[in-house]
């Protein structure tokens, strides 16, 4: 087909063929890439042309259209990768330019260098261009792009200054005619960008529809002609779900590409498929019909309010999205939102107040940041590849037609192997945070009988995250076959047991900068073992951000070493951080895109971080029993043969505290429970409990347990406290009141969340003693332990409590006060002197009956009387039946759900105290309303015994006997039925 060029394009080709350096500013839809391709075909065959473009998509398009054999088309990274290969150097695509520059590769000789989309180059790419020019000083340079189409804010490079300097003497040209859009629409975009755009496509129609009209329109269209742009969590995805439900024959996984991320897509669209993606991925895409969702004030303000957003970039993102349809552009609006106007888009809001506090997800916080900053961060890491025995690739298919299965496989490898990873728990957490009634109801129906397979639940989880129901309704359930399943299992077991500590919650709290900006990073580390954090990937190629992510988990957990493992190809890397303090500051600087202010003179220092001593390591690890290197002879515990201190005081009697904290999904403390006891007999002296209002407004896994022992007492309001800092102040005053010097908790989780206590009081981890056979006489001989006597698994507070109290019906409530009490009970039941927990020495002390101890010390009436005395002006409560034994009352309080028949307290009244604050922001109200959902009261079942695969000498339980009786009856009946069936079958023959 013959292409008619504008006079601007003809002038460009003429001047280029004359040998001039040219810089072209080309508006949207002006045919700049077509002009470059036609120019390449017109050059003399003797000319060696290097054509560099930003993306693979543009590279493939150019290769298909350019006919001349003397033109080499590459992306920037692709060119570096190719040259490294030519020089016998292996590299990942991500590090190709770095290695190219580091090895001072000499490029081939070229006569013409053409740069397409120059506005998207970064510092590394600019250095690559300079190296090419250095080896080819007389090369002709042509750069074509549009600074107003710069939608990637990924570099600190001043591109305008660089490109002007790089071209030296050059001619500036403009392409002002847009072949894609109409004149009115082009004029509007031109006014926003303050540039001339002349739309010459009078056939391009602009329309406005609501969602139902858009749905009806799409049903009648050919998918190959459709491009839809919008938020993945918005109206666009809901329309897609309905479309694939009602018109499956036309709209399905074979005809529709729906992106789930903006970078590193595992599945690529083609010209025959509909595309559903975000504004940020719209660059280079065009279709005859484009539907633009979420083009609203609300979505604009949401994006603009991000800490790292820039007005100019966001304006470009929205305007580029509004120009992708060649024949028809439809803006799909919601009745609940206001359309985005030209006036709003033209007003620069770079000085708009940003949030003073921001929370980032560790798994995502390095995405879309400045490449130069990521390179600087990467330089803080010491990385060593660890040799592995088998590097065979586990080649699992990562797509089901146009559905990307890569996130499913990432979840699958952990859900398949690790006992602690429960996909049902992950789903429930996500549902509670998002609080979308549609998905909550959907899950109730989907898993009504609790009989879904792991694969089905994983697909639902990914559907929940992406909001795409195609994962549930169209994806092949067996996306991993038996051979691949076995391969994953065998590879993981080379490093891990099935009972490792997985999905470990952690956070980084950055100090406020001088502008009072406060940021946090939260995440879930994949595996914590032997004081090392492991980050597991299942990808074609590891990227630098994967290494930074692992290092961030190390920082969050206070660890010296991390391991990054690509399970797919068995690549394993050991990671250490050279200077943790500077690394931490530079993370904050990087993820906020320089909004977080740091000392500009920060320089890389030698790694002088000293190794933590044993005590500090134990205090900073939630899996501290695994700190010991079992290949060496290490004496951590000094064992005394039953030294009885019942009648002696190693130290004069003193008061000590046991403290427990609970956190929300942002890893902020929502409640603190403390019990103070005497060191000699562990008798309770006092208790206290605070619910932190600023943090408890947000969702938490155990938010229904917040009121704990007080939830059965009407309209309790006594222990609400406004802020975390105020709660810490009250806690310190309370401990000082009783002259407390030592405080305890089960694992160092609480220690990490109460850092201000470490400078005032001495901390001790109860679990170090409780889970070690040298101290805990209740641990049977057949339980698996490390050489130092510590349990390999099953050492959580709930398991240990059951063991030492012989109460198999016990459940951990996750209420701060009750859990603190339970941890004190563990200490009492172990029959050890308080010094055993302080000095890690076995000092036996005989105790009284455990049930009597609980009855005497933990009466609900005793607790409430103390509360009444302390907060008489704030407390409102009604007495219940005081004839019940204290122990019965205590045990009944340990139900994680509210028994409305017994307590006459509903979910609504239980959470009523949250709903009175009318000054809360709307977003916080959405979170708070999570607690109003009426989940059915669930009957608790006993968790699986962590030592189930160990031969036990215990007698069979009643339930086990009943199961055996059923089997004895059922099996003979099944055999008889089978015999009858076979007899009938052969008689017919």
Q: What CATH number corresponds to the domain at position 788?
A: 3.30.420.10
Residue pair 28/146 in contact (Cβ under 8 Å)? The answer is yes
Q: For residues 193 and 591, what is the distance between their CA atoms, to the nearest angstrom? A: 28
Residues 472, 498, single domain; the answer is no
- Residue 264 has a pLDDT of 60
Residue pair 381/544 in contact (Cβ under 8 Å)? The answer is no
Q: Which helix (H) or strand (E) holds 509?
A: strand 501-509
Residues 6+ apart with CB under 8 A from 454: 412, 415, 416, 423
Q: For residues 133 and 802, what is the distance between their CA atoms, to the nearest angstrom? A: 73
Residue pair 315/267 in contact (Cβ under 8 Å)? The answer is no
Residues 717, 573, single domain; the answer is no
The verdict on residue 627 lying in a domain is no
- Tell me the CB-side half-sphere exposure of residue 513, using CA atoms within 13 A: 20
Q: How far is CA 498 from CA 211, 416, 789, 800, in A?
A: 48, 10, 20, 19
Residue pair 815/709 in contact (Cβ under 8 Å)? The answer is yes
The verdict on residue 535 lying in a domain is yes
Q: For residues 702 and 819, what is the distance between their CA atoms, to the nearest angstrom? A: 12
Residues 294, 248, single domain; the answer is yes
Residues 6+ apart with CB under 8 A from 850: 805, 825, 828, 829
Residue pair 495/565 in contact (Cβ under 8 Å)? The answer is yes
Q: Examine the fold and report which residue of 606, 632, 662 is the final residue of a domain before the chain moves on.
A: 606
- Residue 288 has a pLDDT of 95
The verdict on residue 638 lying in a domain is no
Residues 189, 265, single domain; the answer is yes
Decide: helix, strand or coil at residue 642: strand
Residues 826, 867, single domain; the answer is yes
Residues 664, 699, single domain; the answer is yes
Residues 6+ apart with CB under 8 A from 362: 506, 508, 521, 522, 523, 549, 552, 553, 556
Residues 6+ apart with CB under 8 A from 623: 501, 528, 529, 530, 531
Residues 602, 703, single domain; the answer is no
Query: Strands (DSSP E) along 930-985, which ranges?
Result: none
Residue pair 479/455 in contact (Cβ under 8 Å)? The answer is yes
**DSSP-assigned letters across all residues of 254-284:** TTEEE-S-SSS-SS---TTSEEEE-GGG-TT
Q: For residues 36 and 66, what is the distance between their CA atoms, to the nearest angstrom? A: 9
DSSP state for residue 328 in the 8-state scheme: E
Residue from 842, 809, 800, 755 nearest 946 by CA: 800
Strand arrangement of the beta sheet that strand 112-116 belongs to: 71-75, 49-53, 112-116, 140-145, 22-26, 171-175
Q: For residues 77 and 87, what is the distance between their CA atoms, to the nearest angstrom? A: 15
Give the total number of structural domains in the chain.
Answer: 6
| Tens-digit pLDDT profile for residues 184-236 | 999 999 999 999 999 999 889 999 999 999 999 999 999 999 999 999 988 99
Residues 6+ apart with CB under 8 A from 987: none
The verdict on residue 612 lying in a domain is no
Residue from 265, 232, 254 nearest 57 by CA: 265
Residues 913, 979, single domain; the answer is no
What's the predicted TM-score (pTM) here? 0.62
The verdict on residue 614 lying in a domain is no
| Tens-digit pLDDT profile for residues 384-435 | 999 998 889 999 999 999 999 999 999 999 999 999 999 999 999 889 877 8
Compute CA 936 distance to the chain's CA centroid, rounded to the nearest angstrom: 29
Q: What CATH number corresponds to the domain at position 528?
A: 3.90.320
DSSP state for residue 400 in the 8-state scheme: E
Q: How far is CA 183 from CA 28, 186, 202, 204, in A?
A: 13, 5, 7, 9
Query: Strands (DSSP E) along 840-958, which ranges?
Result: 841-844
The verdict on residue 791 lying in a domain is yes
The verdict on residue 619 lying in a domain is no
Separate counts of helices (H) and strands (E) for the chain: 37, 31
Residues 50, 193, single domain; the answer is no
Say how many C-beta atoms besides its own lie within 10 A of residue 453's C-beta: 10
Helices (H), 418-467: 423-434, 437-446, 454-466
Q: Which residue stretches of the chain have pLDDT < 50? A: 603-651, 710-717, 861, 864, 866-868, 870-958
- Residue 437 has a pLDDT of 85
Burial class of 541 by CB neighbour count within 10 A (0 to 12, 13 to 18, 19+)? middle
Q: What CATH number corresponds to the domain at position 64?
A: 3.40.50.300
Which structural domain, as residue segments, surrounds residue 273? 183-354
Q: How far is CA 239 from CA 219, 228, 235, 265, 679, in A?
A: 11, 10, 6, 22, 64
Residues 505, 521, single domain; the answer is yes
Residues 6+ apart with CB under 8 A from 275: 226, 227, 228, 257, 259, 269, 285, 287
Residues 648, 775, single domain; the answer is yes
- Residue 900 has a pLDDT of 30
Sign of the Cα pseudo-torsion (436, 442, 443, 449, in order): positive
Q: How far is CA 281 from CA 38, 284, 292, 320, 468, in A?
A: 26, 8, 13, 10, 18
Decide: helix, strand or coil at residue 141: strand
- Residue 946 has a pLDDT of 45
- Which residues share a beta bridge with 520? 359, 509
The verdict on residue 629 lying in a domain is no
Decide: helix, strand or coil at residue 525: strand
- Residue 960 has a pLDDT of 53
Say how many C-beta atoms besides its own lie within 10 A of residue 361's C-beta: 12
Residues 485, 475, single domain; the answer is no
């Amino acid at each position: 087909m013959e292409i008619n060029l504008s006079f601007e394009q003809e002038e460009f080709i003429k001047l280029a063929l004359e040998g001039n350096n040219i810089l072209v500013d080309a508006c949207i839809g002006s045919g700049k890439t077509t002009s470059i391709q036609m120019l390449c075909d017109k050059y003399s065959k003797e000319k060696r042309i290097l054509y560099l473009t930003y993306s693979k998509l543009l590279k493939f398009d150019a290769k298909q259209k350019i006919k001349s054999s003397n033109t080499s088309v590459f992306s920037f990274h692709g060119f570096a990768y190719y040259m490294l290969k030519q020089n016998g150097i292996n590299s990942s695509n991500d590090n190709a330019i770095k290695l190219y520059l580091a090895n001072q590769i000499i490029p081939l000789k070229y006569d013409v260098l053409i740069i397409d989309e120059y506005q998207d180059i970064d510092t590394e790419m600019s250095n690559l261009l300079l190296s090419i020019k250095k080896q080819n000083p007389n090369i002709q340079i042509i750069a074509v792009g549009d600074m107003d189409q710069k939608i990637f804010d990924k570099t600190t490079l001043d591109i305008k200054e660089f490109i002007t300097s790089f071209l030296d003497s050059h001619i500036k040209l403009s392409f002002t005619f847009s072949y894609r859009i109409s004149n009115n629409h082009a004029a509007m975009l031109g006014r926003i960008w303050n540039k001339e755009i002349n739309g010459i496509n009078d056939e391009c129609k602009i329309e406005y529809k609501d969602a139902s009209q858009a749905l009806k329109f799409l049903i009648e269209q050919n998918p190959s002609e459709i491009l839809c742009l919008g938020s993945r969590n918005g109206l666009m995805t809901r329309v897609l779900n309905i479309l694939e439900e009602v018109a499956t024959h036309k709209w399905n996984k074979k005809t529709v590409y729906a992106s789930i991320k903006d970078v590193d897509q595992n599945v690529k669209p083609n010209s025959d498929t509909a595309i559903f993606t975000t504004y940020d991925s719209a660059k280079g895409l065009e279709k005859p019909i484009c539907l633009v969702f979420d083009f609203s004030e609300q979505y604009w303000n949401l994006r603009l309010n991000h800490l790292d957003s820039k007005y100019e970039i966001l304006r470009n993102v929205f305007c580029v999205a509004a120009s992708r349809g060649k024949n028809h552009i439809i803006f799909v609006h919601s009745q609940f939102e206001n359309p985005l106007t030209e006036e709003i888009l033209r007003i620069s809001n770079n000085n708009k107040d940003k949030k003073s506090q921001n929370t980032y997800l560790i798994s995502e916080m390095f995405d879309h940041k400045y490449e130069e900053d990521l390179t600087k961060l990467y330089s803080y890491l010491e990385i060593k590849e660890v040799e592995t025995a088998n590097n065979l690739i586990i080649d699992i298919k990562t797509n089901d037609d146009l559905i990307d299965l890569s996130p499913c496989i990432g979840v699958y490898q952990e859900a398949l192997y690790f006992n602690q990873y429960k996909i049902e728990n992950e789903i429930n957490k996500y549902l509670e945070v998002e609080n979308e009634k549609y998905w909550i109801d959907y899950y109730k129906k989907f898993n009504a009988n609790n009989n879904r397979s792991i694969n089905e639940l994983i697909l639902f989880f990914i559907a929940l995250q992406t909001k795409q129901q195609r994962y549930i309704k169209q994806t092949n359930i067996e996306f991993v076959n038996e051979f691949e399943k076995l391969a994953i299992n065998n590879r993981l077991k080379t490093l891990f047991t099935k009972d490792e500590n997985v999905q470990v919650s952690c956070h980084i709290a950055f100090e406020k900068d001088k502008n009072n900006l406060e940021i946090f990073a939260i995440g879930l580390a994949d595996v914590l073992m032997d004081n090392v954090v492991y980050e597991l990937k299942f990808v074609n190629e590891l990227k630098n951000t994967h290494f930074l992510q692992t290092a961030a988990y190390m920082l969050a957990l206070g660890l010296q070493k991390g391991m990054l493992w690509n399970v797919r190809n068995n690549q394993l890397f050991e990671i250490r951080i050279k200077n943790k303090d500077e690394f931490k500051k530079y993370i904050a600087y990087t993820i906020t895109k320089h909004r977080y202010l740091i000392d500009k003179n920060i320089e890389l220092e030698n790694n002088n971080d000293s190794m933590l001593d044993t005590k500090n390591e134990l205090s900073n690890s939630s899996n501290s029993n695994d700190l010991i290197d079992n290949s060496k002879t290490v004496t951590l515990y000094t064992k005394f043969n039953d030294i009885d201190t019942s009648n002696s005081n190693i130290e004069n009697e003193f008061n000590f505290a046991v403290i427990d904290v609970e956190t929300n999904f942002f890893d902020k403390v929502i409640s603190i429970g403390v019990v103070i006891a005497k060191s000699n007999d562990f008798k309770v002296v006092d208790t206290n409990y605070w619910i932190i209002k600023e943090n408890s407004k947000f969702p938490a896994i155990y938010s229904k347990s917040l009121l704990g022992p007080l939830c059965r007492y009407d309209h309790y309001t006594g222990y609400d406290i406004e802020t975390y800092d105020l709660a810490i102040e009250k806690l310190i005053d309370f401990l000082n009141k009783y002259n407390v010097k030592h405080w305890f908790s089960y694992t160092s989780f609480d220690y990490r969340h109460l850092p201000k206590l470490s400078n005032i009081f001495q901390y001790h981890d109860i679990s170090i003693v409780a889970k070690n056979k040298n101290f805990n006489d209740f641990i049977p001989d057949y339980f698996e332990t490390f050489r130092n006597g510590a349990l390999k698994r099953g050492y959580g507070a709930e398991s240990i409590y059951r063991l030492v109290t012989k109460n198999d019906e016990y459940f951990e409530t996750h209420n701060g006060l009750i859990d603190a009490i339970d941890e004190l009970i563990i200490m009492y039941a172990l029959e050890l002197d308080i010094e055993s927990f302080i000095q890690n020495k076995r000092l036996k002390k005989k105790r009284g009956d455990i049930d009597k101890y609980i009855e005497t010390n933990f009466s609900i009436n005793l607790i409430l009387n103390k509360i009444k005395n302390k907060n008489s002006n704030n407390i409102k409560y009604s007495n219940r039946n005081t004839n019940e034994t204290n122990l019965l009352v205590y045990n009944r309080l340990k139900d994680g759900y509210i028994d409305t028949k017994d307590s006459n307290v509903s979910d609504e009244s239980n959470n009523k105290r949250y709903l009175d604050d009318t000054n809360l922001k709307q977003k916080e109200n959405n979170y708070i309303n999570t607690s109003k959902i009426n989940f059915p009261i669930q009957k608790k079942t006993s968790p699986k015994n962590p030592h189930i695969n160990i031969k036990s000498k215990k007698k069979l339980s009643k339930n086990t006997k009943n199961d055996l009786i059923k089997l004895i009856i059922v099996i003979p009946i099944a055999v008889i039925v089978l015999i009858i069936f076979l007899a009938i079958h052969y008689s017919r023959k």
